[in-house]
Structure 1
Amino acid sequence: MILFFEKFGPVEQALIGTLFTWGVTALGASLVFFFKSINKTILNGMLGFAAGVMIAASFWSLLSPAITMAEELGQIAFLTAAIGFLGGGAFLYLVDKLLPHLHMGLETSQAEGVKTNWQRSVLLVLAITLHNIPEGLAVGVAFGAVAAGTGSSASLAGAIALAIGIGLQNFPEGAAVSIPLRREGFSRTKSFLYGQASGIVEPIAGVIGAFAVVKMQPILPYALAFAAGAMIYVVIEELIPEAQREEGGSKTDIATIGCMIGFTIMMILDVALG
């Protein structure tokens, strides 16, 4: 796999990696052709798994390399990491407040962001699309970091591991969009199309991220930390609350177990391959 990626430049690598993550989103969304509903306990586990992957990726694939690269570039490492990390969270906060979106299980009147008359289905898809912005950016920045050649802190294997990890957690996310839409009365085909559409933003964000860090190497540590902050914001603001929305015993325990498993798998991928 590494030999395959080595044939391409960083922007092309980022595009291939994020097309893969988008494809896995579509694969997860295709479950709607087999199931009309999804058990809330299973959904909790899926969301917890996605949260665990994103938490692990935020540190091993993004924040830790950002600190190392900042040191290599002669920057004040902790300050660079802090500025980038908080900047990523602030960016997602603004997008969350401005972009109209609606979380699963809520009434249309409870939509967040700027008030709009957009259809409920569009608002539902935008909620997941919001999650995918930092994921695509993270993959793009990771591939761009390899091309920047700032030292041993970034490797092509590590970037590939990140793309695989993001892809793994995109599978349940795709299902978590399409199946609830089916339950709300949409056709299987329309539910699938909406579900996979939530991942379109990843190749766009990935290419932008890779291009930016290749052209402006000094911002690379900030970009890595920025992506980490954005991903952690999504986990705390969206994924964990959604997974814990239904109170009581085993249903929320499954989300916690899913998070632990997701974290462990992403950690193994990054440490073993990176």
Structure 2
Amino acid sequence: MNWFVGLETWQQALIAGIFTWFVTTLGAGLVFFAKNIRQKTLNVIYGFAAGVMVAASFWSLLDPGIAWAEKNGGLAPWLVVVIGFLVGGAFLYATDKIIPHMHFGSNGETEGIPTRLKKTILLVFSITIHNIPEGLAIGVAFGAINKGDTKTAIVAATIAALTLAIGIGIQNFPEGAAVSIPLRQEGMSRRKAFFYGQASALVEPIMAVIGALLVSSMEALLPYALSFAAGAMIYVVVEELIPAAQNKDSKDHGHHAVLGFMIGFAIMMILDVALG
């Protein structure tokens, strides 16, 4: 662990981002062992991911953002995090409107600028957009490590950043399967389905490095960056994950999705509160 602590924050963020991508790859690898995935299982997976992201948005991002805003002074802490939160949501909204993509179960309806890209590419773009705030959140969390003014604060920030990376990694495993196996069901070869499944998370290490570098260079940006990442994550939850979990073709009336959400929220809450 000493070697990790001695690294630059952007290097730590890069390793954490690679970890979450690797876990996604493991999940996507289930396509070599499973031929299909039931809709109820998908509902649990999407609900679980939503629960993890909602819990992480508060305990790993908004709550520390408020604390940093109080420390920095200036604008009222609540105003700082509200600004960052809303700008984060606006950023994802703009991304959603610009990048061409297609959600699973959308009956072929595309979003973003008009394109002739294949359906499979558009589906992967959808998950990639989802992973942008996750990678950014990891980077911002690691960028906050060296901003602490005491050894205790630095240790606490390190644990919080590692906890966030672990939580996102946990929810990335089933998500990898939720990308690759449906692609296989649509006729794609196992190798291609696996490739696209893992590729959807390649943006996470990239965004992690960007987030860490931005925060490391400007301490005053930290509370805004934390709340920005939270706003972007909540946007993804409401715009993509919850609708996907409440699939209209499922007859469980959303009960499996709610179960997944509760489990995901509880796990992330335990990680943040017990370890952080």
TM-score, scaled to structure 2 = 0.95
What secondary structure is seen at the aligned counterpart in 2 of 1:155? helix
Out of 147-156 and 94-103, give the one that drifted further. 147-156
Counterpart-to-counterpart distance in 2, 1:168 and 1:33: 20
- The count of residues paired between Structure 1 and Structure 2 equals 272
Aligned to 2:257, which of 235, 245, 255?
255
1:111 aligns with 2:110: yes
- In structure 2, give the amino acid aligned to 1:96: D
Q: Within 5 A, what are the aligned runs for 1:113-262?
A: 113-149=112-148, 152=153, 155-246=157-248, 250=252, 252-262=254-264
Counterpart-to-counterpart distance in 2, 1:42 and 1:34: 16
What secondary structure is seen at the aligned counterpart in 1 of 2:254? helix
1:264 aligned partner: 266
Tell me how far 1:242 sits from its aligned partner.
0.6
Instruction: Could you tell me which runs of 5 or more consecutive residues in structure 1 were left unpaired when the two chains were aligned.
Output: none
Counterpart-to-counterpart distance in 1, 2:56 and 2:3: 23
1:98 aligns with 2:130: no
Tell me how far 1:251 sits from its aligned partner.
5.4
Structure 1: 4+ residue segments shifted above 3 A: 150-154
Tell me how far 1:246 sits from its aligned partner.
2.6
Counterpart-to-counterpart distance in 1, 2:34 and 2:132: 27
Q: Within 5 A, what are the aligned runs for 1:40-59?
A: 40-59=39-58
Tell me how far 1:247 sits from its aligned partner.
5.6
- In structure 2, give the amino acid aligned to 1:137: L
Instruction: Could you tell me which runs of 5 or more consecutive residues in structure 2 were left unpaired when the two chains were aligned.
Output: none
Q: Is the 8 A contact 1:48 1:256 kept in 2?
A: yes
Q: Is the 8 A contact 1:41 1:251 kept in 2?
A: no
Counterpart-to-counterpart distance in 2, 1:89 and 1:129: 16
Q: Is the 8 A contact 2:100 2:122 kept in 1?
A: yes
Counterpart-to-counterpart distance in 2, 1:124 and 1:91: 20
Counterpart-to-counterpart distance in 1, 2:164 and 2:266: 13
Q: CA RMSD in A?
A: 1.4
Counterpart-to-counterpart distance in 1, 2:260 and 2:205: 26
Counterpart-to-counterpart distance in 1, 2:176 and 2:118: 20
